[in-house]
Every structure is written in C-alpha cells, then in structure tokens.
Structure 1
Amino acid sequence: MRDEVRGAMAQLLSGLNAEERSSLLSLLQGEQPEGDPVAVIGMGGRFPGGANSPEAFWRLLQEGRSGITEIPKSRWDIDALFHPDPDVRGKMYGRWGGFLEGADQFDPLPFGISEEEAARMDPQQRLLLEVCWEALESAGESPTGLAGSRTGVFVGLADQGYNRVREPGHLDDFSVTDHLTSVASGRLSHVFGFHGPSLSIEAACASSLVALHLAAESLRRGESDLAIAGGVTLLLQPEISFHFCKLELMSRDGRVKAFDAKADGAVRSEGCALLVLKRYSQALADGNPVLALLRGGASTSTGRGVSLSAPSVPAMRRVMSDALAAAGLTPADVDYVETHGSGTWAGDAIELQALRDVFGAPRPDGTKCVLGAVKTNLGQMEYAGGAAGVIKAILAFQNEAIPPNLNYSTPHPRVPLTDTPLVIPTQTQPWPRGARRRIAGVTGFGLSGALAHVLLEEPPLRSVADVTAQRPVHVLTLSASSAEALAAQVERVAPLLDAVPERLLGDFCFTANAGRAHFAHRLAVTGQTPAQLRDRLRSWRGEAPAERREPQRVAFFFQEEFLLQGAPGQELYATQPVFRDAFDRCTAAFAASGAQREVPAAEQTQFSLGYALAELWKAWGVRPAVVLGKGVGEVTAACVAGAIELKTAVRTLAARPSRADGVGYPVLEALPPFRWTDPARALEDQKVTLLLGMAQGEPGHFGMPGFLPSLQAGRGDWDALAECVARLYARGVEIDWRSFDRPYGRRAVAFPGYTWQRRGFWLHRPTDGSEPVEPTRADDTAARVRAVPAQERRALLQAHLTAHLAKALRVAAGELSTNKPLILLGLDSLMTVELRRRLKSEFGFNLAVARLLAGACIADLAQDIEHHLAASSALAEGPPPAHSAGTEEREVIEL
C-alpha cells in the first residue's frame, strides 16, 4: 500500500510546475501543521446592490459603490413602520438595508422540485440551492455528478419567518420541512445526493465563518472529500430591526462608518455566500481551480463577560492568536485582515484594540497590514457576512489589489493606529504577487458570543500542462432542463469562443463537459478550433434529437472481415493511452501464442482495433448492454464481454478451421449470446436503441438509423470518433468526461454557468378560506373508465393521472412525460401520500411505495390500475376498505 501511495504521489508531482511541487512538498513535509492543506476551489454568491456573482461583487468593491438602499416597499412598508423615536414599540428609525434583487425568483426544474413546494419553501433554501449549484460550477464540478460522494454541507442561517406570512390555519404538509433551520443543509444534501456531514449552523454573524472552519476540519479528518461552506440571510420580517433600533445599534443615515469617529451603528442586509473546499493535492489531481489555501482557523466563544452579547477584547485577541497558531503563521506574515467592522462605536473600538494587540507590533521590513471592512459596502449580511469577507479576500488575491473602505474620514479616537503597521484604506491598495507570500485573515463575531477567524494564503501559480500528444479534435456539450434554457445557453456560449485561445480550447471544453450538469435537453458539437465550434453552435437551431425520456441501451457491434481503408487507429495509438495499451496487449498476445504466423495480418488488425476501441469506450463510461459480432468480430465480442480471455481469443482465431463465410468457432458454440449475425434482429430482440460499431463504417449502415460507427473511412480517427461521441451524448448516452480528457492534463477554466429560467414564488397571506374540494367517489371514476372500450382505457387513465399530477406539481400537463419515473418529476414523499389517498378513493387501488421507489412512471401506474380494475369483481360494491391515512403517511415519510 505504501508503494501505491508513493507511486500516486510521484505521478501527481510529475504533472506540476516547480512552484506547485515546492508548495505541495513543503506543506506535506510539515510547514503546514495538518499536512495536506485545504484549498478553496469554487465560490458563489448573491450580494446587495445587484451584485449577483463574485465578479459583479468585485466590480462593486472596485468602484467604491454601496449596495445599501432604502427598504423597498415590496418587502416592508417602511413609511408605516418608521418612527424616529427608538422607544416607540413596533417601529424603527432605520429606513435602510441591503437587499437582493429577485429574492422571490427561483427555477425549480433543474432541482426536480415541484412549483407547489417551491412556493412554500423558505426562500433562503431556494437561494442556497442556486448558489450552491453556481459555486460547484465555479469549482469545475458537475452539480449533478456528486451524488453518493462524501461531500459535506456546512451552512449558517436562521429562521427569518417566511412561514409567518400564512395564517396558522393554512399551514400544510410542507410547513415543517420547508422552514426548520436544520432542514436547509439537509435540503442541499438531499437534492444533490451528498453523503457527507450535513450541518445547519446558527452562531449569529459568526455563522458562515464557523461553518467554513468546521468544513475544513471535516476535510482534514478525512470525513469529507469535498465540502460546501457559507451562509445565507434574507430579511423577511422586521421584528429584529425593531429590537436593534431600540438598542440604538442601527445607523440612522444608512451608512456603515466602520472604525470612524462618527460610527453610529450597523445596517442590516441580506445575501448568500458559499465556498467549495477540497484537499489541495486532490484539487490538483482533479484539475480544479485553486483560488486560495485555507491555512488554518479557530472558533471560540467570549464566555462569561459583561453580558451575553457584549464583545470582549481578550476573546477577540484569543481567537485570532489561536488561528495564527493553527496555521503556523506569525502576525507579521499577515498583509490584510478583513475585519468584522460592524460600524458601532463601542464595537469598533473593542475590535480595533484586539487587532492592535495581535497585529500592531512594528515590522522590521516596513510592511503594512490593511484592515478591510466589507460592511461599508454591503451592510451586515449577518449569517452570510463572514463568507462574503472570504470571497472579498479571494477576489483581492486574484486582482492583486485591496479595495477601499467607504465612509471613513476621521480615525476612531479610542484606539490610535499611527504607531502601528495597521492601515485603513480609503483608496485601492495595490497587492501584487511577489517574493513574499500573501496572507489574509477574515474575522467574524456573533451577537451570541461566538467568534471565528480564518487565514488564507494565495494559491501557487499554475502553468499550462505540457502534454506532447494532444487530441486534435474537441467535443463541446451544452445541456439544460428545458429547451428554452438550452437555447439561452447556446446564445451565451457561442460569442465567448471568439476570445478563447486555441491552446486553452481543450480546457474550455473540459469545463463544459465535466464541470456542468447534464440533462435530457442537450447538444454536442465538434471542432479543432474555437471558430469551428462557434460556427457549429451558431448553426444549431434545435436540431438535436428530441428529449430522451428513457435510458439508452447500447450494443457493441464487431463486424465480420472488412477492407481496411487507410490506417485506422494510427492517430488514436499516438494520442490515446487507453487505446494504445489495449492494442499493445493484443499484439503481445498474438506474439506470445505464436498466432502471428497463423492469423492473417488484416484479421489481427481487425481484432486488435475492435478490442482497443471497445476498451476505450468502456473507459469513457459507455458500457454495452449487449455485444454481438460476426466472423472475426464474433471472437472479439466474446472477449470484450468477458466470456473468454484475450489469450483464448487469439488462439481461437489461430485455430479457425476455415475462412469461408458462415463457419463458426467451436469454442464459442456454448455461448449463444455472442453468435448473433443479424444486427437488426439483435436490436429488436434485446431492445437495443443504439448500435455502436467497433470499426470503420457509415452512420445508418445496415439500414438502421441507430447504427453509429466509431471510425469512418476517409476521415481522421479523432474526427470520426469525436463526432460519434457527440452523437451518442446528444441521444442521451452518458459519457465520463473526466476520463475522456484524463490523458491531456485538463484544468477547469471560466465558463458560463447554468442559464436559470426563474419565476416568482413569493408566498402571500391568503385572503379567503381554503377552497373546498368535492371528493371523487371510487365507483364514479372507475365506472367512467370501464365505460370506454378496453383498448382506450389505458390512455384515459394516463390522461387522468397526468392531469392530477400536473396540478399537484403546478406544471402544464404537456410538460410531464408518461415514461419518466415519478420521483424524477419532482414527486416527493408528501405528494406521494396525497397520490395514494386519491388512487385509493377513486379506484380502490393500493399504491405500493416500493413501486414508486423502483422507478414507476405514469404509464406504469395506468397499467397497474387497469389490471386492478379488470381483476376486481366487486367494483359495483365500492372499493375495499382503505388503510388508515395516518399509516400511509408514516410509511412514506419514514422511507
């Protein structure tokens, strides 16, 4: 095992440049106390001021803008709530806040969530879902490709009272799961299929930094292999603002004046900030972007003090010192601290004193430590504030500059900084790379007494991988959960190709293919240059095959003897290690058995070519449901299927009694699955939808539209093979894109994220009572079905079920596929309860939960009900007694 680890490490180091090797080795050899450091590989966020991405956030910071505005009337009626006297109950003197654009907007379709549940879900959970998706895309990780992985979720948030917009009598089955704080992290784990720890953290304004610290520890312990950390806040109810105004903690003019003599309070704001973490060595191996290294951190509590919510200089000093010790750093190593900087006069003084105590000693080299305060731009983002500070620090690394604080003119009189290296920036501070590694600290303090501090290091420079044998043709895929979203994606991506350097085209395509989600609506184009891919995208007008709603069954077909044209496989042999290794194994097997003298060279080539192509397809994740062949191909098929070993296959070819057509191989007589000679019959018998040829050929050959050859005469290997890959993908076959690009040293680069198709889902207080629903009697519905001709009953049942489910899911009936598993349409456990009740009431039919879990679709249920009605001899007497509804509900929820 030790030799295997050494070999893997040697392979990893061989692909790094000098700086990356030096950084990784020094960190693994002890300069980093925990060994393999934690890397930040992705980030996503929504910030006030219309900054709906980290890039837009940086523009806001760089331009010195504020995201704080007067509270919009669409959120609260500030004129009715305002009063200048803080002692007036139920009023507030602060008219200002940092609010997100489109906080009610959401696209439920990519997440498999029904519109009904989306409307009732805490919008903080909706925001977490979208930002988590975007952060994973930023990391070059496919959001739908991590199901079953040890991915941990650590998010800070609190209940902001969304459920209180409804009258108590209108609470429904979704009220618990959609509003409990603890469910938010579970929602992410459930929707994305993560199997790591899942924690919702409530530590006031320290929450997202505490979450980041816990996520890093989970990675260091090996508990998680990937982690999502951060926080979210939406301001949905005004009561907390009433309380803060009563304590006179809110700014009266809407400006946060951190560390200024005129500081008069905070401004509440909302937002979401998430970071994606992975161990550094794994991030390098996987081609993820490394945005920063998380050197260390600490999370503590104030303990017993003046009061529960009062900050403490010793406590703040302790958490920063603990983080430095954990990171193996000294205060003089830190160039920049993104402070808590709340803008309260007393709180700022306490934080400044702690910063002076820890970082205020003179530095012999004359370097400074800049004190940033993002709350002067955004306000107090509360549960997301610490993670927003981390994103600001990472953006400062990337842009080699620290943006200015706003609203600072007069130093705080309580804590002078003139004799210290501490600097409060009023204009952009250059922060270039150099001989000195850049280190940033980020601080978060909570009203509950929770404290956290983390330390970030700039990432090592990364060079373009030096791979001598590159693949000459690229495949670019785009995918979406609807045709409209796919068209929008094409419009976004095509113009970007004009700016992609040819040397980075492989990385660009790799990011699209391996780092984005794949849905039923999809397309793929091939090309050797950015211009070719751009033109082929622009020429696409929805010509991709119709959405595939059923899994594709692929057969590998090994043809009989054929005339080799050109030198098929030669280009692959020179540029594809998997193909080359498989071909070499065949050559060695022929040599070892002496069959080189017995088997004609053309047959050896045919066998080796087919075998190597099959091994390549399998390495790319394409596994055949069926293999079939004829002539030499019959032996290759048996070998690829594992029925005979490679050495046996070679000896079988050498022992062939005759070269005449129709003569079989005695060793294969007991293996009828490999003796099909009619591809069309095989497609029909085995319900195969695509026939993949393992040699040269023409698409649609044998009179079968589903036939796709791996290679084509007169075309380069990669030209034909890349087109075959693209066609398979467009028809719904899943490709392992990381394996597809593994030999070429790809790395994730900037690429557009998913094109959301958002709609409003803001829940409003009902103005009238619940609408009564007239129950449908089982004998009425059953009689209506029995009254139509037998051949029409199933279609009627399908239409009836589709209409009911469309209403439950709040989608158009035409959007529902009758052949798609119900659990993939967005049907959750609570909807299942209602469906079971309805089918029991209407048809006397007991729907087994196991049937749904096994992937039953509308067509399956229609068939089950049709059989049930046909078998029942007592329909006229009404349905059999129903089980207890409570029992049914418990069964589903427990599952």
Structure 2
Amino acid sequence: MSAVAVTGLDCRFPGAEDPYRFWELLMRGGDGISRVPRERWDPGVTGGPGEGGFLADADAFDNAFFTITPREAASMDPQQRLMLQCAWRAFEDAGIAPHRLAGTATGVFVGVMGSEWAQLTLTDLPGITPQIGSGNGYCMIANRVSYHLDLKGPCLAVDTACSSSLVAVHLAVNALLSGECDQALAGGVNIALTPALGLFYERAGLAAPDGRCKPFSAGANGIGRGEGVGAVVLRRLEDALADGDHVYAVIRGTAVNQDGRSNGLTAPSRWSQQEVMAAAYRRAGVEPGDVVFTEGHGTGTALGDMIEAKALAAWHAGRARPMALGSVKGNLGHTEGAAGIAGLIKVALALHHRTVPVSRFAAHENPGLRLAEKGLRLLKSPLRLSGPALAGLSSFGMGGTNAHAVLESAPSVRTTASAPPALGAHVFTLTAPDAPALRRNLAAQAEAIGRRQSPVGPLCRASYRVKSGHAVRAAVVVGAEEGSSRLAEALRDERPTAAQQGPLIAALFTGQGAQFPTMGAQLYRSSSLYRRHLDAADAELLQYTETSVRDLLLHGDSAVHRTR
C-alpha cells in the first residue's frame, strides 16, 4: 500500500476549541467533562447521567461568512454547521485557500452516528419546511461541505456506529490510492441533543454513572457520552512532498472488517479485532513489534477493555519493552461518530510533536487486564519519541464494524533551496463580511497568536495566501525582527470602524526627485513577479537610456537621480 499524508487538520472537542488547545488538554491529562448544558435536557426529569463531554456554544454559527440565510442556518443540523466550519479551517491549515478548491475533484468523507436534530425537527409535522428537509440527513453533512466549496469529487457520509469516522478515513485513503481523487477531506462529527442514547447505554448496563470513560482503568464502569468534530486533509505522500506541503503524519495502512456472529449484536469479537489489526499491519508493511504506541478504542467498559487488551496481546505479548496504550475517550468521553477522527488527530499530533501524551486514569490500571503480561502499558508520564515512529489506531463499531490504521511520523525533508532574502517588514491581513465581524476576527486572531511563539513571516504569508478575502479588510505591519507577541499586540490595537466596499487603488506620478539609490533592490531579489516586470521595463528603456536603469537601482548608483 502506498502512503497517504495528513497535510492539514482541525478539531473542536470538549474543553478544546482548536487543535492547539486539544494538544494542551492531552498533554496535561485534562478532563473535558462537564454538567449537561441547561439548554439540552434536565437529567432530573429525563434520567440518565448528568455529566458528559459537551461543546460550549455548539449552536454558534457565522451564517453570513458562508452566505447562508438566517432562516436556512436555523434549520440546519448543528452537525452540518460544525463540519462546514471545521472543513474550512482544516483546508486553511493545509495551506489551501478554500475558495481555490472550487471545481476540483476533492473528496469529502464524513463519519456520523446519530441525528438527534432529526428527532427534534422532523417529528413536528406542521413545522416542516424545505429548509428543514435539507437541514437534516447524514448525507447532507458531507454534501453541505462539497456544495459550499464547489467540490466535484466523491462525497459521502458513513455510519458504522462508533467506528464511523475511522472508516471514513479508510474510504478516503482508498479513493486517493485508486486515483478517484487527488485530495480528500475525512472527518467525523457528533452532537448530543437528547438523552435518548444515554438512556440506552444506561438500560443496557453500559453507562458510567459519572459520565466519564475510564479506559483500561480499575475504575472503569461504563461509557460517558461526548461531543466533537474533527477533520483531516489527506493527499498521496509523493504528491504532498513534491509540492512542499507540511505533513503532520503519514498513514501507512488501514483496514476494516466485521465481527459477524459474535456473542451478541453489540458484543465485540476478540478474533475480528485481532484480524483487522493484522490486515492493517500487512497493508502498511510493518511488524507489530515496531509499533511504539497504539491509540485504543478504550470505551472503559469491563467487557470492551478486556476484549481489546486480549486482541492487542495476540500481536504484542512478549515484547522486550511493552507498547504504550491509551485512549482519548478518557479526556473527552465517547464522541461516537467522531471517536475515530479524535483518535487519529491525537496520533497525528503525537507524531508531529514527537511526544505521546499521558493516559488519563493510568494511575489505577485495571489489574484484571494484566496489561504487562500482554506487552502493554499505560502512560503515567509523556513518552518522548526518537527517530521515525510507528503508531496504531483502533476504532470499533457497536454493531461490529472494526477499523484499524497504522501511522508513521512524517519523513525528514532536506531542502537545498536558498531562503529568500529577509524582508524589512511583514503585513498581516484580515478580512470579514462586515465591520463587527472584522473586530471579532481581530480579537480572535490576537488571542490565538498570543498563545504561541511562531515566526512572523509564515503567519503573515498565510494570512493573505491561504485566507479567503471578504469586503471589509484590515492590515497590520510588523517588523521582520518582531515576534508573534508584537503581532498580537498590534492586532489588539486595531480599531476598524468603517466598512470598505472593496480595495481602492491609487497611482501617484511624482515626476523628478522621488527615487533613491537601491530603491526596489530588495523587492527585486525576493519577488520573481516584480523581477520579471522590472527586467521587461528595463529592456524597453535601454534603447533610449543606453544605461540599464535596473542596474543603477540595484547597485545604488547616484546616477539614478539624473532626470534623463
């Protein structure tokens, strides 16, 4: 199997509004579990756990940004809104301005397990409108992304219960390798709007009373529900490297299978889990012993954890050094249709940062699992990675559809190209549909940039090469030697007050005296576009001046002041 690169990603999970905060949550072993939001349901009335992994402001949506009318936006499943926003940011993270994808054969593959919005809206028969119709349906979550970005590649929603989004990744990988598309977005989304599924877990004996999953822990006592959305941008590795894309991680191999007739429709099968891992290892061309860590399914149920540990033991028992094992469900709860993509993004970030985060609840490992004998261990402290590293990722559906993936750290890329000359200053640009939105954008960018230490140059270049433009604009100039903290400070100082209906261009012809030695020399060396036009103009002038005006400028010759 050829490899596929993860070139961009975005996510939003409980306690983590973006990938940066998600990584921060994982590294500190944080807990995204909270009380059921008041606007969802009252556990005292409906029953079920009173806590879970919930998104703050899950209904927030900038409909004007996507040119969606307020009426249509109000009728959309929140999962559609979340996935549309997440897809947009994932493409930007991959260095792609989303509007430039229009007309391309980009594929969209979305995993989704539930549509509680449909339960709430389609049962109100008198209130059904055309907007309610297009606002519902699993397919529409994927279709909405392709429609708004004008993507022409394969587009589908996948429901295999808890493994949905990793199966979506598997399908996206196969579409890339078969040449069905050259770029794909794969993701998953889950929102809990009613207590129905929580009540099912409870009455089936699967629910954790405190709403927390405790994977492989002595305290494991069931599933806690979680929400979230995540997406990755995928390309064939050779294409990504040829185009100089940033690569978070490499997908070496994926596999999907089914339990068939197990001990019950919702009961896991150790043998099928073993086989799906083996198939992924074969397709990746790796030995199980080379896998450094595995992001497990890890629901925190007694039966599920036991079956999964035994399946892993078939390939990892007897290792000289036990393989690290964890599950992001300990931090977020079980995000159901988004569980697989949550695990994939965790693994991709771990390989990117060369660190495997701690396993939440690792302090009290379930002694009945006898993990050490099975060649497994939970991480009580982060694991630093050295050299190329391999990781496994499992996601198992409640109905028996299993998925496993093998990922590898991104290859080291050597470049011999000389860096462009340093510029004296950089320009950071921001746009929005209107002035209030621009002010919100300024505040959000200032907060985001202020949290990290990043070179100013790439931030500024991305702001105008990757971001799509709107009518109202702001630009901030920062010195090349200034850091991201100075840029954040400058963004906070901006006070846009008036809308501008498009850019205004002014041309100033000053006549004699405005030029100076070396004027434009630095731009000539750093910009091929400017260089091409100045060379052309110089060639035309040469028949009249008998001296190269370009050379006078580049060498700082005082003859540039001569009017002729």
Match of 1:524 in 2: 475
Equivalent residues of 2:134, 2:140 under 8 A apart: yes
**Displacement, 1:156?**
0.7
User: 1:79 is matched with which residue: 25, 34, 44?
Assistant: 44
Unaligned segments of structure 2, at least 5 residues? 553-559
Equivalent residues of 2:187, 2:231 under 8 A apart: yes
**Displacement, 1:128?**
0.9
Cα distance between partner residues in 2 of 1:148 and 1:523: 29
User: 2:222 is matched with which residue: 265, 289, 292?
Assistant: 265
Q: Structure 1 residues 556, 329: CA separation in 2 closer, same or farther (over 3 Å shift)?
A: farther
Cα distance between partner residues in 1 of 2:22 and 2:190: 17
Match of 2:92 in 1: 137
TM-score (norm: length of structure 1): 0.56
Equivalent residues of 1:439, 1:458 under 8 A apart: yes
User: 1:45 is matched with which residue: 11, 29, 32?
Assistant: 11
Equivalent residues of 1:338, 1:441 under 8 A apart: yes
1:485 and 2:441 correspond: no
Match of 2:364 in 1: 409
Cα distance between partner residues in 2 of 1:105 and 1:563: 52
Cα distance between partner residues in 2 of 1:151 and 1:420: 42
Equivalent residues of 2:33, 2:331 under 8 A apart: yes
Match of 1:547 in 2: 501
Aligned residues: CA RMSD? 3.5
Match of 2:341 in 1: 387
Equivalent residues of 1:300, 1:452 under 8 A apart: yes
Match of 2:556 in 1: none
Match of 1:186 in 2: 143
Equivalent residues of 1:256, 1:407 under 8 A apart: no
Spell out the pairing of 1:135-534 with structure 2 (5 A cutoff). Answer: 135-166=90-121, 167-362=124-319, 366-397=320-351, 398=353, 400-406=355-361, 409-413=364-368, 415-425=369-379, 427-434=380-387, 437-461=388-412, 467-470=418-421, 472-473=423-424, 474-493=426-445, 504-526=455-477, 528-529=479-480, 531=482, 534=487
State the Cα deviation string for residues 686-718 of structure 1 (Å, max 9, x = none): xxxxxxxxxxxxxxxxxxxxxxxxxxx99xxxx
State the Cα deviation string for residues 213-264 of structure 1 (Å, max 9, x = none): 1112222223223221111111122222332222211122333232245533
Q: Structure 1 residues 491, 563: CA separation in 2 closer, same or farther (over 3 Å shift)?
A: closer
Cα distance between partner residues in 2 of 1:403 and 1:509: 34
Cα distance between partner residues in 2 of 1:505 and 1:193: 32
Aligned with 1:319: secondary structure?
Answer: helix
Q: Which amino acid aligns with 1:438?
A: A
Spell out the pairing of 1:24-43 with structure 2 (5 A cutoff). Answer: 33-34=1-2, 37-43=3-9
Residue identity over aligned pairs, in percent, reads: 35
Q: Which amino acid aligns with 2:336?
A: E
Cα distance between partner residues in 2 of 1:250 and 1:545: 52
Spell out the pairing of 1:596-675 with structure 2 (5 A cutoff). Answer: 599-601=543-545
Q: Which amino acid aligns with 1:577?
A: S
Q: Which amino acid aligns with 2:347?
A: A
Q: Structure 1 residues 440, 75: CA separation in 2 closer, same or farther (over 3 Å shift)?
A: same
Cα distance between partner residues in 1 of 2:450 and 2:52: 41
Cα distance between partner residues in 2 of 1:175 and 1:328: 47
Structure number with greater Rg is 1
Q: Which amino acid aligns with 2:95?
A: G
Match of 2:50 in 1: 95
Equivalent residues of 1:159, 1:180 under 8 A apart: no
Q: Structure 1 residues 465, 272: CA separation in 2 closer, same or farther (over 3 Å shift)?
A: farther
Aligned with 2:130: secondary structure?
Answer: coil
Q: Structure 1 residues 518, 264: CA separation in 2 closer, same or farther (over 3 Å shift)?
A: same
Spell out the pairing of 1:1-80 with structure 2 (5 A cutoff). Answer: 33-34=1-2, 37-48=3-14, 50-80=15-45
**Displacement, 1:505?**
3.1
- Greater relative contact order (Cα 8 A, min sep 6): structure 1 or 2? 2
Match of 1:645 in 2: none
State the Cα deviation string for residues 741-766 of structure 1 (Å, max 9, x = none): xxxxxxxxxxxxxxxxxxxxxxxxxx
Q: Structure 1 residues 335, 530: CA separation in 2 closer, same or farther (over 3 Å shift)?
A: same
Q: Structure 1 residues 286, 111: CA separation in 2 closer, same or farther (over 3 Å shift)?
A: farther
Cα distance between partner residues in 1 of 2:510 and 2:45: 80
User: 2:67 is matched with which residue: 92, 103, 112?
Assistant: 112
Cα distance between partner residues in 1 of 2:421 and 2:481: 16
Cα distance between partner residues in 2 of 1:377 and 1:353: 23
**Displacement, 1:450?**
0.9
Q: Structure 1 residues 465, 400: CA separation in 2 closer, same or farther (over 3 Å shift)?
A: farther
**Displacement, 1:540?**
4.4
Equivalent residues of 2:109, 2:158 under 8 A apart: yes
**Displacement, 1:487?**
2.3
**Displacement, 1:401?**
3.4
Q: Structure 1 residues 96, 476: CA separation in 2 closer, same or farther (over 3 Å shift)?
A: closer
State the Cα deviation string for residues 464-486 of structure 1 (Å, max 9, x = none): 98535426243321112221222
Equivalent residues of 1:500, 1:530 under 8 A apart: no
**Displacement, 1:388?**
0.6
State the Cα deviation string for residues 544-591 of structure 1 (Å, max 9, x = none): 77223xx98x9999999999875666544433334445665777x88x
Equivalent residues of 2:211, 2:225 under 8 A apart: no
TM-score (norm: length of structure 2): 0.86
Q: Which amino acid aligns with 2:9?
A: M
State the Cα deviation string for residues 357-381 of structure 1 (Å, max 9, x = none): 022232xxx3331110221222111
State the Cα deviation string for residues 576-622 of structure 1 (Å, max 9, x = none): 334445665777x88xxxx97xx32269859x99xxxxxxxxxxxxx
State the Cα deviation string for residues 780-823 of structure 1 (Å, max 9, x = none): xxxxxxxxxxxxxxxxxxxxxxxxxxxxxxxxxxxxxxxxxxxx
Q: Which amino acid aligns with 2:396?
A: F
Q: Structure 1 residues 545, 374: CA separation in 2 closer, same or farther (over 3 Å shift)?
A: closer
Q: Structure 1 residues 114, 354: CA separation in 2 closer, same or farther (over 3 Å shift)?
A: same
State the Cα deviation string for residues 168-192 of structure 1 (Å, max 9, x = none): 1111111221101111100011112
Cα distance between partner residues in 1 of 2:449 and 2:40: 41
Equivalent residues of 2:456, 2:482 under 8 A apart: no
**Displacement, 1:276?**
1.7
Cα distance between partner residues in 2 of 1:173 and 1:342: 39
Aligned with 2:131: secondary structure?
Answer: coil
Q: Which amino acid aligns with 1:133?
A: W
Match of 1:677 in 2: none
Q: Which amino acid aligns with 1:69?
A: S
Q: Structure 1 residues 53, 565: CA separation in 2 closer, same or farther (over 3 Å shift)?
A: closer
State the Cα deviation string for residues 257-281 of structure 1 (Å, max 9, x = none): 3224553321122111211222334
Equivalent residues of 1:376, 1:407 under 8 A apart: no
Q: Which amino acid aligns with 2:240?
A: A
Cα distance between partner residues in 2 of 1:419 and 1:95: 37
Unaligned segments of structure 1, at least 5 residues? 1-32, 83-91, 610-712, 715-895
Task: Report the count of equivalent residues.
Answer: 547
